[in-house]
Amino acid sequence: MSNPEVAPSTTVSPTVGFGRANFEPRKRRGRRGNRQGCVAQRKDGTWYGYVSLDRGRRKWFTGQTRAEVAARVAHGVRATEEGVPIPPERGTVGQFVQEWLEGTVRTRVRPATYTSYADLVRLHIEPALGKVRLSKLTLDQVQRMLNQKLTTGLSPRRVDYIRAVLRSALNQALRWGMVSRNVAALAQSPRVPKREVQPLTPDQAKVLLDTVKGDRLEALYSVALALGMRQGEILGLSWDNVDFEEGIIRICQSLQRGGDGFTLVEPKSDRSRRLLGPLPPELLNTLRAHRTRQAEEMLASSRWDDEWGLVFTTRTGRPLHSSDVTHAFQAHLAAADLPKKRFHDLRHTCASFLLAQGVSPRVVMEILGHSQASLTLNTYSDVLPGIQGEALARLNNILQ
């Protein structure tokens, strides 16, 4: 690109930023050193800038405002100092989100989370915005995409998730100076209705346990109801983390399935790593019976996989697929003539039973592995009023 006719140029320090005080008039002509930048204004009022590279090469940027161009030059300077490629000036949203997925998301999140992000990008963000130049992406374009997704029948929760993924990607672009603002953060999010907690009643829970008696995964449902563990925590539980002598279960990993198969991952938060116990004797006996049943399956199988050492497995020792467990759960509900529930509702059932017994929400938070007590209170806000009413009635009886 040849030098346009410009107003007096200003140099940019590669180390001190781009405030007004950091611009100094050029005092002499000469070759600019590597990893230095320049921002200047054309006579037509637009701005341009460049970063000096090796062998006299330059990376050029253009824009309507000085701040916009200075931010891009600043990012270019940082990129050359760190030895990473400078993103193309005309890069598209599709190109950037793919680079963001591979360079940032894949290395920082769980495999299942990465897969869900990549699916949203592939199915929704790229088809709608992928060809738009990143630096030209507007709030109106993002808002129209979100509105269009709602009209096609996607749930508000799903559309809000699409917005959240795009917002996260553009946050990085903003930090790198590739955009001047995060338009996804400014877009109006659809109103997401609160998902009502629908636990089993005590009678329904007893019917379910009676129905699964003798099933090879009977202990799985007992653990879910008695301890409120997440499905991934149950499926990732190993025998090494079950202490029969102390009656304790250690939760320190979770099973996830991604594109590369099954993976044992760290708990989703520090609070999720926890000890549960001492366990009720009935639950310990159920787990002992399950261990005996599994040992018999191991002896009967010529293809047993010894690698995993999990408590709940297939008949060949392999990890269980979450969808298979959910389908089996639905079949048991139908056989017991119980209403359809999510597997996660077993966790809600455990929490509701604990709260109904007067257990402190703080203790329930620790059992469930919630990160904050407020999450427990917000999740079970529909359950708490009845419990509080019972507590106040008991208090009134004492005071009378």
pLDDT of 393 reads 57
Range of the domain at 57: 10-82
- Mean pLDDT on 302-321: 94
Given the structure tokens 């039973």, which residue do they identify?
Answer: 353
Q: Which of 139, 156, 186 is the last residue of a domain?
A: 186
Mean pLDDT is highest, among 12-26, 46-60, 113-127, for: 113-127
| Number of domain units in the chain | 3
pLDDT of 360 reads 85
pLDDT of 88 reads 62
Distance CA 218, CA 277 (A): 20
Distance CA 125, CA 193 (A): 23
Q: Are residues 165 and 118 in the same domain?
A: yes
- Mean pLDDT on 48-53: 86
341-396 confidence digits (pLDDT tens): 999 999 999 998 888 888 888 899 999 998 887 788 778 766 655 555 555 455 45
pLDDT at 282 over 50: yes
Q: Are residues 28 and 172 in the same domain?
A: no
Instruction: Give the confidence band of 31 by pLDDT, cuts at 50, 70, 90.
Output: very low
Q: Are residues 120 and 150 in the same domain?
A: yes
Q: Are residues 24 and 104 in the same domain?
A: no
Q: Are residues 259 and 369 in the same domain?
A: yes
- Mean pLDDT on 269-275: 88
Largest CA distance in the chain: 93
Q: Are residues 174 and 301 in the same domain?
A: no
pLDDT at 28 over 90: no
Q: Is 193 a member of any domain? A: no
The proportion of the chain whose per-residue pLDDT surpasses 90, expressed as a percent, equals: 50
Residue 369 maps to which CATH number? Answer: 1.10.443.10
pLDDT of 385 reads 58
Alpha-helical regions (H) of the chain:
66-82, 93-100, 106-108, 111-120, 126-129, 139-151, 156-175, 183-186, 202-212, 218-227, 231-235, 281-300, 322-335, 344-356, 361-368, 373-379, 384-399
Q: Is 397 a member of any domain? A: no
Q: Are residues 261 and 331 in the same domain?
A: yes
172-218 confidence digits (pLDDT tens): 888 877 788 999 999 998 888 877 778 898 899 999 999 999 999 99
Instruction: Give the confidence band of 229 by pLDDT, cuts at 50, 70, 90.
Output: very high
62-115 confidence digits (pLDDT tens): 888 888 888 778 877 877 776 666 666 678 999 999 989 988 898 888 888 899
Distance CA 399, CA 369 (A): 36
pLDDT of 13 reads 43
Quote the tokens at residue 311: 């408590």
Instruction: Give the confidence band of 400 by pLDDT, cuts at 50, 70, 90.
Output: very low
Q: Is 195 a member of any domain? A: no
Q: Are residues 55 and 180 in the same domain?
A: no
As a whole number, the mean pLDDT across the chain is 84
pLDDT of 246 reads 94
pLDDT of 109 reads 85
Q: Which of 131, 154, 186 is the last residue of a domain?
A: 186
Q: Is 191 a member of any domain? A: no
Instruction: Give the confidence band of 134 by pLDDT, cuts at 50, 70, 90.
Output: very high
Q: Is 125 a member of any domain? A: yes
Q: Is 149 a member of any domain? A: yes
pLDDT at 398 over 70: no
Q: Is 229 a member of any domain? A: yes
Q: Are residues 271 and 322 in the same domain?
A: yes
Q: Which of 186, 221, 237 is the last residue of a domain?
A: 186
230-255 confidence digits (pLDDT tens): 999 999 999 999 999 999 999 999 99
- Mean pLDDT on 45-65: 83
Q: Are residues 108 and 161 in the same domain?
A: yes
Q: Are residues 70 and 132 in the same domain?
A: no
Residue 119 C-beta-side C-alpha neighbours within 13 Å: 10
Q: Are residues 154 and 218 in the same domain?
A: no
Around Cβ 232, how many Cβ atoms within 10 Å? 21
Instruction: Give the confidence band of 51 by pLDDT, cuts at 50, 70, 90.
Output: confident
Q: Is 3 a member of any domain? A: no
Residues sharing a CB contact under 8 Å with residue 32, sequence separation 6 or more, in sequence order: 11, 38, 52
The residue type at 103: G
